[in-house]
Amino acid sequence: MRKIKKINFLYAAFVAELLLIFYLRNDTGFILSPLLILSAGLFLAVYPFFIIRSEHNIQIEKKSVVLNKLKNGKNIWLIFSGLSLIFIFWSYIIFQKNPVAINQSDIIPFIRDVMVKRFLSGETVYAPVIFNGYPTAFTPNYLPFQWGPFLVTAVLNIDLRWTYVIMFLGATAFYVYHLTKKEEPVSKWLLNVFLPFIVVFSIYLKQARDAAHTIEILIMSYYLFLASSLFVKSNLIRALALTFPVLSRFSFLFWLPVYFYSGLRAHWKKYLSLGLIFTGFILLFFIVPFVIPNPSFLKTFNDIYLDGAIGEWSGQSWQQPGDRPFQLFQGMGFASWFYYFFEGSLIEKILALKMTLMGACIISMFLPVLFFNKARKVISHQLFSLLALKFCLTLFYAFILVPYIYLFWVPLMVSVVIISRMNERTES
């Protein structure tokens, strides 16, 4: 019973994340809210180690008749199918109510009208472009797996947003499939099946417009797939799971050394092979088709990020002069602290946050590496990597330059996998 109470603290931290991001967003103000989100995320990244350390003699509860029936029959996939149908129908309603519109967000229009169109026409995808009234030409900064999956729906001439519906269901099916291989009490097992849908249904309930006008559900799906793949044996699957996020966002680059360090320490031949396959995927999907023909675009690839940050820190066009920038003061990150408390010009404030972000990323890399020798005596290197991923993402998003609300969906999916993996290690 004591172990069950400990695991319930992880569920409580996950619920706290959900509430702070969706249901009680910024209710505690821009000073306290980011602190609470950071605390919940770090708790989920660190506390599992202490649970397992204190429970070495673990006896897994025998599976009940109900659990055997679920695992050996079709019931698990019936549950998944039912939730998937709700998700698909709800997606259809949201897409109908929120057609793609550049005045809401230019992400999907840019992917459709520049990246996808150029690729299908045989043009240079990363050539400079003038788009949506931007005063000068800029280099597109979307990596291949931010826009590549939309090629299928573009060719089929259907709403591009069905791409991330399909990708989410695929990643969730992968997650659920690996749940069926675990031994745990039926109640916890059933709850874990619902967890990814609890997140996406919360998005649809509280942030439907963001879901309709961004691609973050796609990125969220990548991280669900990545976190779940850490525990599989196939190097091909794990390499692919690493490739999706690394060629979509830079969020977890500082985690990669931690992952390969812990893996090489545990099984160096296997992880050396994994590294070679992963490198091959990077060459196949990015270096060979895009960088080698046009390497000069890398020099200006990230220039637009700083310009975008300055625009958001200057406030929205509909705000009154002197108002606090809308995106910074939604309680989702520490950018508001730097804007409000840091002395200096707008550029100096942004650069100070950028330096702090870099410092946080370095900490998120070196601290787990320094802790690994102690951790490996208690937990597997796979679980260690999962917790390190949560630690890295929590710090990264806490200090991101523009804390768009939808960006914080991603770490929630890592929390989902942490909880599902902890049950088998702690229940008795």
Number of other residues whose CB lies within 10 A of the CB of residue 213: 22
State pLDDT tens for residues 298-317.
888 877 787 788 989 998 88
pLDDT at site 266 = 92
Q: Is 138 helix (H, G, I), strand (E, B) or coil?
A: strand
Q: Tell me the two tokens of residue 337.
A: 């602290």
By the 8 A CB rule, do 240 and 222 touch? no
Tokens 């980011």 correspond to 34
What pTM does this model have? 0.94
CA–CA distances in Å: residue 327 to residues 19, 365, 394: 19, 28, 19
Parse the chain into domains and list their residue ranges: 2-426
DSSP 299: G
State pLDDT tens for residues 371-414.
999 999 999 999 999 999 999 999 999 999 999 999 999 999 99
Residue 406, judged by CB atoms within 10 A of its CB (0-12, 13-18, 19+), counts as buried
CA atoms within a 13 Å half-sphere pointing along the CA-CB vector of 104: 14
Residue 85 has pLDDT above 90, yes or no: yes
pLDDT at site 3 = 56
Q: Tell me the two tokens of residue 26.
A: 């910024």
State pLDDT tens for residues 16-62.
999 999 999 999 999 999 999 999 999 999 999 998 887 654 444 44
What angle separates helix 75-97 from helix 65-72, to the nearest 10 degrees? 60
Q: What residues contact residue 206 under an 8 Å CB cut-off, 6+ apart? A: 22, 23, 25
